[in-house]
Amino acid sequence: MLYISDLFLTCPLVEDRVGKRVSSTTGTDRFGDACIAYGKEAEKLAHKILELIALSLGLPAKRFVPFFEGKNMTFNRINYYRPCPNPELVLGKGCHTDTSSVTVVATNDVSGLEIKTREGTFLKVNPLPGSYIINLGEAMNVWSNGYYESSDHRAVAPKDRHRFSMAFSLGPAPDMMVEPLEELINEDHPRRFTGFKYGKFWRSRRHTSLLRLKEQNIRARHFKIRE
């Protein structure tokens, strides 16, 4: 599991830029240890969510467990969004979907996450005290054969307040073939996706994931089977 601290959004009117990668060996032992401890608990929560999803699909609770055994692509990212008087000029986290199965997001009381609706508008997500924001990613979209869709969302810069968030992203092994589960394919709900190697899929998106683009270069829908 990789634990990193990074700055996603940088106000263009501020000269100094901050972007740090933090581990428990960089002189910030207590901070690094706290991140690792939090990540372990977030991982437990993410797996519990996977169990609930499996049960909702009529599958055994542990159906997704084998996908995460051994080496996997799981990240715990800490984001700091500084106040920016001109947030519309920020080169930041544009509209995207997550590559993972489940992302668990903790944030302070400053809103910054927006969810895209089917009509193309964006809805602001107002954080609730003591709660988490849960996003489902492209891996779950494909595994569930489209029963669960990945959500389009973006992060916008705050105008006059500091915002912090921590996103725990649970991804399978890089060599894992992500494809619809056989139990979810039938005559009434035929196979909707071909499939992809998770590591290759993740790497193909990484170079554009921090840019304010209309759309990322590849998504699960690019593997969708035409009807």
pLDDT in tens, 155-210: 888 888 888 888 999 999 999 999 999 999 999 999 999 999 998 888 877 665 44
Supply the pLDDT for residue 4.
42
Beta strands in 32-162 (DSSP E): 75-81, 102-107, 113-116, 122-124, 133-136, 153-155
Supply the pLDDT for residue 148.
96
CB 101 within 8 A of CB 50: yes
pLDDT bucket at 51, cuts 50 / 70 / 90: very high
Q: What is the pTM of this model?
A: 0.80
pLDDT bucket at 217, cuts 50 / 70 / 90: low
Supply the pLDDT for residue 214.
53
β-sheet with 102-107: strand ranges across: 2-6, 75-81, 163-170, 102-107, 133-136
For residue 134, list its beta bridge partners. 104
- As a 3-state breakdown, the chain gives helix, strand, coil percent values, each rounded to 5, of 25, 20, 55
Q: What's the CATH fold of domain 2-223?
A: Jelly Rolls (2.60.120)
pLDDT bucket at 22, cuts 50 / 70 / 90: very low
- Distance between CA atoms of 168 and 2, rounded to whole angstroms? 10
Nearest CA-CA partner of 24 in 15, 12, 16, 33:
33
Measured CA to CA in angstroms, residue 137 lies from 56, 63, 87, 149, 202 at distances of: 17, 17, 26, 8, 11
